[in-house]
Structure 1
Amino acid sequence: MTTALDPAAPLVFDTTELRGAGTMMHIAREIPAPEAYGLEAVFAVPKGAVLDLDITLTGVSEGVLAAGQVEAVAEGECARCLAPVQDALSVEVQELYAYEGSVTEATTEADEIMRLEGDLLDLEPAVRDALVLAMPVTPLCRPDCPGLCAECGVPWDELPDDHVHETVDPRWAGLEKLRLAGNDGESK
């Protein structure tokens, strides 16, 4: 397998020093998100947003175990009122990266476990997946957000308590026209 990873990418780490079981490397740094994580039009950690990493890489007999915490801020809009929303995400990441030719690589399917490419470990898929899975399916500005008025589209929080729209049942619309026409005849 040829190495396709860019060793200079912010979430790619060289694990050459971790070839012995029990050896460790601690990574504590802030990096920009290499791409947007989530649905940019709805709710996402934007590209370039700060990812705060606190990860320990540990050499194990079958590869390298990456475990720790990642923090980021996701932003988007409230699903009910469309107001801007920000949410601080804090997720745990734990992933085993198997050495090429290891027993783990031979006994698992390609999509069951992450693989090292040479001595390079790409933490980006694990970080992306953990952050996206921690995002709310329906982001809200607050749990009791009343949303928008269905008639005029203005957020309920901006409307007076007595806000209503006169609606005429379409089945009675013809009678309403007659009533209005009768009122016009009386005023003449």
Structure 2
Amino acid sequence: MSFSIYDVTVPVMLHGLAVMDDYLLHAQNLERSKSLDPGSVLTSRLAPDMLTFGEQLEVNCNKVELHMTKLMDRIQVAPRSVAMIYPALQGRLLETRRFLQTIRPEDVESARTHVYQLTPSVAQGSCGADDYIRHVVLAEFFFHIAVAHAILRHLGAPIGKKDYLGHFTPHGGDDYS
């Protein structure tokens, strides 16, 4: 079975952004349950040289738009900053999901015919769509979700693999935890 570029990007990203939306709720619940200052989880990070929890969400939304416009061979949108407050981040996730919902399979059909320049922070050179999607687009996307997950866990949020995997029921009904 083969998957189209659309199949391995848009539905996967919609699912992952829903996970990040759930993480915002977990962050708020953590602040309440541990009597933390409001918004303190948003400014938490794993290491001094890493992005904060809120920035992980913001950057992931920006990267989704950047990568998908690149795959559609459209003018790339400028990265956006949002206030590091819960309503603004929830709104940004919603905007990004709405953007993804406008993409049709035919919008990314020609992506395999293009060559993609890699940024120096990733690697030097260029690659085709399959490698770009596998080794850059999806890798970056899941990196930011994993780091947001790790920050919440580090702060004591009661989340685990099921939260990272999101709301998914396999067709066979098996539990994969």
TM-score scaled by length of structure 1: 0.22
The structure richer in helix per residue is: 2
TM-score scaled by length of structure 2: 0.23
The structure richer in strand per residue is: 1
Q: Which has the higher contact order (CA 8 A, sep 6+)?
A: 2
Structure 1 or 2, whichever has the larger Rg, is 1
